[in-house]
Chain A
Amino acid sequence: MKYKKILIVDDSATSRMIIKRCFEIAGFYDSEYYEAEDGLKAVSFLRRNKVDLILSDLKMPKMDGNTFIQKLNVTETTKHIPVVVISSMGSDLTEEQLLNKGVQAIIRKPLSPEKVVNALRLNL
């Protein structure tokens, strides 16, 4: 698996840092990481840039994870990008519904490199 450009979407700077660290330890140490603090900024970023993988929280201000994933799915340039949801709590949608929306994997916080490896091996 090779993801050169990874976009992390989470409103917590601490969480973004932990996600990046875990992915690096899990083997993605030479990837380039980009950060957005909500779905709206992520959509704006994706209009101008291409990424190979998106890691998104669900509970975020301005545009939450569910809406963000819906936007990705209806946009020609982003609907092929694999999305991994990383969240500390349940969402309005069940895990099955999220997977049906094209989410490749769901990882519950606290994140660990082992969880990343397992999720990516199983789902991507």
Chain B
Amino acid sequence: MKKRNIIRIKETLISAVIRTFSDMAFIDVEVLKEIPEELTCSHIIHISLSAPEHGEIALFLPSDCKRMIVENIYGSDWTSLNPTEIDDCLLEILNVLAGNFLTEYFGAEVKLNMIYLYPNFYSMRRWIRKMALPNYFLTPKIILLRFPLILRKPIDKDSMLRKDSNTWNA
């Protein structure tokens, strides 16, 4: 893949991350110039893409980062949420992030089809092993972009994050 395409992918992805995290989780994102040595990720979330091209989009997040995102979206402490709520929340943010990125990269009129029948929470090592299958990892379309981000809570939006009770399930 040409270098300018990779640069465009990276810029579009960063823009999508900033917008998605800000709009969904009220978190400001700043991109660092260098990757800190101590950066570690716990699990990844990944979805498959079948249109406009086949591919995979994965989100690597340190535990603290995941916790901040989920707590901000739910307006609740991490410990009060059950694993289903946490999984659903992380999958939804990746879904929106991927939709934002792909729409911006390919254009609003392009049909997108993302497959996420169930959450796939792999460890980073396991995911890399999975992706490293012959005839897959070696294709030129695989790009691993890794950029460090700082997440900040910009303003107190507690009043927007309350859980209300006037909702019923159909």
Binding site for B on A (CB under 8 A): 7, 12-15, 17-18, 20-21, 24-25, 31-36, 41-42, 44-45, 49, 59, 61, 87-92, 94, 108-112
Contacts and interface: CB of A to CB of B under 8 A. Distances in A.
B9 interface: no
Interface in B1-43: 19-20, 23-24
A88 B99 contact: yes
A77 to B, nearest CB: 16
B102 A89 contact: yes
B166 A90 contact: no
A12 B170 contact: no
Interface of B: 19-20, 23-24, 73-74, 84-85, 88-89, 91-93, 95-96, 98-100, 102-103, 108-114, 117, 160-161, 163-164, 166-170
Contacts of A61: 117
Contacts of B20: 110
Contacts of B19: 110
A14 B169 contact: no
B160 A110 contact: no
Contacts of B99: 87-89, 108-109
Give the most central of B89, B96, B113, B164: most A CB within 10 Å. Answer: B96
B96 A24 contact: no
A25 B103 CA distance: 27
Contacts of B160: 21, 25
14 contacts: A20-B164, A32-B166, A32-B168, A33-B166, A35-B168, A36-B169, A42-B170, A59-B114, A89-B103, A89-B112, A90-B110, A110-B19, A110-B24, A110-B96
Contact of B95 (A13, A88, A108): A88
A13 B85 contact: yes
A17 B74 contact: yes
A12 B85 CA distance: 9
Nearest to B113: A89
Given A90-B109, A90-B112, A91-B111, A14 B92 contact: yes
Contacts of B89: 14
Contacts of A109: 95-96, 99
